[in-house]
Amino acid sequence: MEKTKILIVEDEEVYRKVLSNTLREHGLDVQATESGEEAWELIKQHRFPLIISDIRLSGKISGMDILRDAKELYNPSVLMITAFGEIEMAVEAMKLGAFDYITKPFEVEDILKNIDRMILQQKIISDHLLPSGLEELSKNAGIVGSSRKMCDLMNMALKAANTDATILITGESGTGKELIAKAIYQNSSRKGREFVAINCATLTDEFLESALFGHVKGSYTGAIKDKIGLFEKADGGTLFMDEVGDISKSIQAKILRVLQEREYIPLGSTETKKANVRIIAATNKELLESVKNGEFREDLYYRLNVINIVMPPLRERKPDIPLLINHFIKKFNDKLNRKVAPIAPEIEEILMEYDWPGNIRELENVIERAMVLCPGNKISRKHLPGSIIPGKGDVPSITIAPGTPWKEAEKELIMQTLQLTKGNKQEAAKMLGISLRKIEYRVKEWGITCGQKANGN
Ligand SMILES: Nc1ncnc2c1ncn2[C@@H]1O[C@H](COP(=O)(O)OP(=O)(O)OP(=O)(O)O)[C@@H](O)[C@H]1O
Ligand SMILES: [Mg+2]
């Protein structure tokens, strides 16, 4: 097999030699140079899949230039070397698509660990992330998808995983934010340490503060004994803060403090505690909007948003639908001890046409419901909810019989309107004269109740 080519750009001779020797011994085809100018010529000629470059170089072309230009030319995996204290440049490099950065002085093992992951990344890029490549990445996390969007996203997540940078995952409800957060954790160096998740939207300020930071006995009514918080529980590990867009200003200030100072004070205590926690935050809100209208602190937004992973809605990655359907049929065959067959083409077509306002969660529920409803092994049209079957013509017309329970009527109306607006919730909210929040809330609720109903049957 041909050896993988790697280019080392480093103006300090000692480091250049150590790196060259180590990587040659590791079985790579190594070229090394001290100059950015020469590096750029070599890159144009050979298109090295792997590049290691110092951020600062003595000549006119810096490591950042090489990173930016090489990324534009093709898609190499680039590892940056920084000196101590260059963290801002390192973050900038990550934004430009660096695979990762390491700080001098470094251990040979740090390099090799990164190199193996870069080779995997290149394999995935060159395979155009075929399902097999993705599988490798997401084996434990159970993430399905091979659309371009999903592949880019997984690459991004993999790149982000091994930095300790705070990550903000945004996307509509049901798009897989929690799933990707777990995948990031499982591919990070904090794997094996604690992964703690908290939903910030469901707790009052007092409870949220106590849950995150802990409290001392008597700090509020009901605090009958000392309690450690999640920052302490997740020490050395990862804290997943879900629905982070819903936290109040006062808690925002406290979280900002942890991110800035890496320390916090438990509720009712006077003692400061250290926090060694990687934060992954998620929200289905447009946080930047919340920043603009003053609901969310701008400084906290930028602290959280060091790396932003945007989960696309399912309607923007429809090629993944067949894979997801298979995945869920398999999942529920196991769970329900059934032998339901792969979906027929005409049913698949209906599911491909629909816009999935509730995203993957809704698809999952529709499959589970259909499997529960179908007596044999074949899912047919009548096992699908009426709201997803295309009506006659463009405008679906609904008849809601008098006496239909309000909840059902509401659901039918909202779902049909969403179909009309091709899943655009803002537009649907406007047409129906209700708040966007209400639609989002309902869609999420149905995602869950559909599943429960199906289970109960
Ligand atoms: N790519 C995927 N492959 C397989 N299953 C997925 C995928 N993405 C999401 N799911 C499934 O869809 C459901 C919803 O995913 P998840 O809870 O991660 O979404 P979310 O974005 O956090 O939603 P919410 O904003 O409502 O909390 C879960 O059951 C999850 O397992
Ligand atoms: Mg979630």
Check residues 451 and 82 and name the one with the higher pLDDT.
Answer: 82
The span from the CA of 416 to the CA of 432, in Å, is 11
The answer on pLDDT for 456 being more than 50 is no
The answer on pLDDT for 392 being more than 50 is no
Does residue 312 line the site of ligand 1, with CB under 6 A?
no
At the fourth CATH level, the homologous superfamily of domain 5-126 is Response regulator (3.40.50.2300)
- Rounded to the nearest angstrom, the distance between the alpha carbon of 176 and the centre of ligand 1 is 3
Q: Please write the tens of the pLDDT for every residue from 90-144.
A: 989 998 889 999 998 888 888 998 898 888 878 766 654 444 445 555 666 678 8
The span from the CA of 40 to the CA of 61, in Å, is 8
**How confident is the prediction for the chain on average, in pLDDT?**
86
| pLDDT of amino acid 127 | 53
Atom 26, ligand 1: residue with shortest CA distance: 173
| 315-456 is a CATH 3.40.120.10 domain | no
Check residues 443 and 212 and name the one with the higher pLDDT.
Answer: 212
Which range among 116-125, 341-350, 379-388, 448-457 has the greatest average pLDDT?
A: 341-350
- Rounded to the nearest angstrom, the distance between the alpha carbon of 177 and the centre of ligand 2 is 6
The answer on pLDDT for 21 being more than 70 is yes
Mean pLDDT lowest for which of 13-27, 67-81, 398-412?
Answer: 398-412
* Mutational test site, ligand 1, from 175, 185, 242, max ligand atoms within 8 Å of CB: 175
The span from the CA of 409 to the CA of 423, in Å, is 18
Does residue 327 line the site of ligand 1, with CB under 6 A?
yes
Q: Which ligand sits nearest to residue 448's alpha carbon?
A: 1
CB 423 within 8 A of CB 357: yes
| pLDDT of amino acid 128 | 47
Does residue 182 line the site of ligand 1, with CB under 6 A?
no
Nearest CA to 442 out of 416, 404, 417, 415 is that of 415
The answer on pLDDT for 79 being more than 50 is yes
Q: Please write the tens of the pLDDT for every residue from 183-228.
A: 899 888 898 899 999 999 888 998 999 999 999 988 888 788 899 9
Check residues 417 and 50 and name the one with the higher pLDDT.
Answer: 50
Q: Which ligand sits nearest to residue 440's alpha carbon?
A: 1
The answer on pLDDT for 9 being more than 90 is yes
| pLDDT of amino acid 418 | 83
The answer on pLDDT for 278 being more than 90 is yes
| pLDDT of amino acid 130 | 43
Q: Which ligand sits nearest to residue 176's alpha carbon?
A: 1
- Rounded to the nearest angstrom, the distance between the alpha carbon of 423 and the centre of ligand 2 is 19
Q: Please write the tens of the pLDDT for every residue from 236-274.
A: 999 999 999 999 999 999 999 999 899 999 999 999 999
* Mutational test site, ligand 1, from 360, 366, 425, 455, max ligand atoms within 8 Å of CB: 360
| pLDDT of amino acid 139 | 63
Atom of ligand 1 nearest to the CA of 284: 25
For 296-349, the DSSP string reads S-HHHHHHHTTEEEEPPPGGG-GGGHHHHHHHHHHHHHHHHT--PPPPPHHHHH
Atom of ligand 1 nearest to the CA of 320: 1
Amino acid identity at 119: I
Residue 240, phi then psi, degrees to nearest 5: -100, 115
Does residue 97 line the site of ligand 1, with CB under 6 A?
no
The span from the CA of 24 to the CA of 225, in Å, is 59
Cβ atoms within 10 Å, residue 56:
16
Please state the rounded mean pLDDT for residues 336-358. Answer: 93
Which range among 74-78, 82-86, 267-271, 279-283 has the greatest average pLDDT?
A: 279-283
| pLDDT of amino acid 129 | 44
Does residue 144 line the site of ligand 1, with CB under 6 A?
yes
Matching CATH topology for 5-126 and 134-312? yes
Check residues 399 and 286 and name the one with the higher pLDDT.
Answer: 286
**Report field, pTM of the whole predicted structure over 0.85:** no
Atom of ligand 1 nearest to the CA of 327: 4
Which CATH code is given to the segment(s) 134-312? 3.40.50.300
| pLDDT of amino acid 132 | 43
| pLDDT of amino acid 328 | 95
Does residue 317 line the site of ligand 1, with CB under 6 A?
no
Q: Which long-range contacts (CB under 8 A, 24 or more apart) does 369-374 make?
A: 369/450, 369/451, 369/453, 369/454, 371/329, 371/332, 371/333, 371/336, 371/338, 371/340, 371/454, 372/336, 372/454, 372/455, 372/457, 373/454, 373/457, 374/340
Atom of ligand 1 nearest to the CA of 178: 18
Atom of ligand 1 nearest to the CA of 144: 3
| pLDDT of amino acid 398 | 65
| pLDDT of amino acid 397 | 59
What residue segments make up the domains of the chain, in order of their start?
Answer: 5-126, 134-312, 315-456
